[in-house]
A and B are shown apart, each in its own frame.
Chain A
């Protein structure tokens, strides 16, 4: 009620963005105070590449998680797609068609995830936990201990290309991420599919009765997540200009962290693309601020874990106390009336 009574023209930062924005700001301040090298344009431009893969995965995962599902297999799907790409390339297929095959592989593997979850009514946590191992295993069978390298110059180094301007300019992965974020924003917040997505996440049975094909919505989200994994496989192969079977190991956890930190409810029904975008940059700033000050890997991991717990916990505690205060207020009013 209180939201409606306020003037609609006033710009208000949504609650789920406060945490990530705060982290982003603090990390930027901490980084620039700690190291003169933190805010160099070159580093901001060229070190963002590997975060954008996580960012794209997180954008697609936002849809899956809003549905109340989870896709733990994104990194393994990525690896399998990269494996197909590498195997075809080693077999002499032109690189363009290898990339198409990679995206298609991602789409198919995502679809398989969705079909198993929906047709057999199994929890997505279990299904994608299984396919996490399965797809990674298939990649290992496909590639063995081989390293596929020697990709053509025209394909390699995607992350070091600038799309707009010279030095400094806008690097390709960042540009791709922004374009994807805008597209995903329109799909989630402006299109029919997006609204159905949020509805079926917040109350599946009510949505079903209102004529929303909940199963189809969920299936599409899994297929989307798989397809984006296939795209990320192309990006990561270009960036590393080599492929091994353990490519992208553990990326799923980073991507899920980004989504949850961005305010998407892990139980479904609530979430926003803006949250995922800001939280990606927040995590990137934290990591970069720590690594530039020579903080070791273990500490970085712990820091991000701690931030995740805090950002999820603090709003819960806050709303608990607000609820309690409101109840007390209503109780007092009722007593005053009586």
Chain B
């Protein structure tokens, strides 16, 4: 019907007849696409797409954007659609409406980066009761409210890691200091204690930890503390800041100081914050985890759970090629650690954007 109409219009306009030859071809291809489309449709009903909703803490956060990227990358090969929705604020209960909507939409899986370990629990339990796979990503909720959790890195190993990291940037010798977050920050304090134990036990004997100061995760205060360290310890060789705010502040102080290159800054930071200091030579290397690994791992795990009816529990082994370290073993309460910290240096920093 359609090509006849087109043909008559062309004639009416007195167009060149050579286009007319195209009309049946177009018609044929239309029919063919129709046939192939219906074919695709039937095959889609045979193996429906896995519907996943991922709920980050909030939107516009590059860290979670990286997780989303990992999700999408892996979803392509897994016959999976990933929807990302998030509240405006990272309040304890702000994610609840989005979980409820996902239950309503009968999704196959909900992955959530929880703002609160307990408040989401009743809603997540409802989701599990409805047969939905529930994963906690980049944080955990109470174990009864999810099937498995993915955390970025093994925090119990970070203390040792920070000391070894410092040793690697100053060839294992010299005075160094910690520039931490607040004196009450639970994560950092745990790492500092573990680092102290490692040193006491004879780890990295060439290093001498001379001081630990707190920048309160405020850029101004962190910069002041870094300057004070430089003035107070003339033999200082390195500052290790295991906080994204502290490391950026210390690097910024050193980048404009005559001590640039003589005192090393390392620790935990994000590539986007630290890129300029790597490029200008202030910083040799620093670390963090690659958040996108958690997204990829979550997507793959959901697909496995769906396809093979896998029940996550301690000791279950997973192996996904091309994702982070490639293989994992579930820990206590089906907790999965995504991988070792990722080191960033002049060679690889441009591969990361978060």
Question: A residues within 8 Å of B by Cβ?
Answer: 35, 37-38, 40, 42-43, 46-47, 50, 147, 149, 156-157, 160, 239-242, 244, 246-247, 249-250, 287-288, 291-292, 294-298, 300-301
Contacts and interface: CB of A to CB of B under 8 A. Distances in A.
Nearest to A246: B92
A296 B122 CA distance: 22
A40 B101 CA distance: 11
Nearest to B59: A296
B118 A147 contact: yes
Contacts of A42: 104
A294 B84 CA distance: 8
Contact of B101 (A50, A246, A292): A292
Given A37-B105, A296-B88, A46 B100 contact: yes
A38 B100 CA distance: 11
Contact of B86 (A240, A241, A246, A297): A297
A242 B126 contact: no
Contacts of A47: 97, 100, 104
Contact of B93 (A160, A240, A291, A300): A240
B119 A291 contact: no
A297 B88 contact: yes
Interface string B45-70: 00000000000001100000000000
B346 to A, nearest CB: 37
Interface string B111-140: 000001111011000100000000000000
A292 B104 contact: yes
Contacts of B92: 244, 246-247, 249
Given A156-B122, A240-B93, A244-B116, A297 B104 contact: no
B261 interface: no
20 contacts: A40-B104, A43-B100, A43-B103, A43-B104, A47-B97, A50-B97, A147-B118, A149-B121, A149-B142, A156-B122, A157-B122, A240-B93, A240-B121, A246-B92, A288-B101, A292-B104, A294-B85, A294-B101, A297-B59, A297-B86
Nearest to B94: A297
Interface of B: 58-59, 83, 85-89, 91-94, 96-98, 100-101, 103-106, 116-119, 121-122, 126, 142
B94 to A, nearest CB: 7
B96 A50 contact: yes
Q: Mostly helix, strand, loop or mixed at chain A's interface? A: loop
A160 B96 contact: no
Nearest to A242: B118
A84 B28 CA distance: 75
A37 B106 contact: yes
Q: Mostly helix, strand, loop or mixed at chain B's interface? A: loop
A35 B118 CA distance: 30
Contacts of B105: 35, 37, 292
Nearest to B91: A249
Contacts of B116: 147, 242, 244
Contact of A242 (B91, B97, B121): B121
Contact of B122 (A240, A294, A297, A301): A240
Contacts of A288: 97, 101
Q: Which interface residue of A42, A149, A242, A250 has the most chain B CB atoms within 10 A?
A: A242
Given A46-B126, A292-B104, 10 more contacts: A43-B103, A147-B116, A149-B121, A160-B122, A160-B126, A250-B89, A288-B97, A291-B98, A297-B58, A298-B88
Contacts of B101: 288, 291-292, 294
Contacts of B103: 43
A296 B86 contact: yes
Contacts of B97: 47, 50, 287-288, 291
Contacts of B117: 147
A46 B83 CA distance: 23
A37 B104 contact: yes
A38 B116 CA distance: 27
Contacts of A246: 91-92
A43 B103 CA distance: 9
Contacts of B94: 297
A96 to B, nearest CB: 21
Contacts of B83: 294
A149 B118 contact: yes
A244 B91 contact: no
A242 B86 CA distance: 22
A177 B142 CA distance: 31
B59 A298 contact: yes
A301 B103 CA distance: 22
A149 B141 CA distance: 12
B100 A296 contact: no
B88 A301 contact: yes
A55 B101 CA distance: 20
Nearest to A47: B100
Nearest to A245: B92
A301 B94 CA distance: 12
A28 B241 CA distance: 53
B175 to A, nearest CB: 35
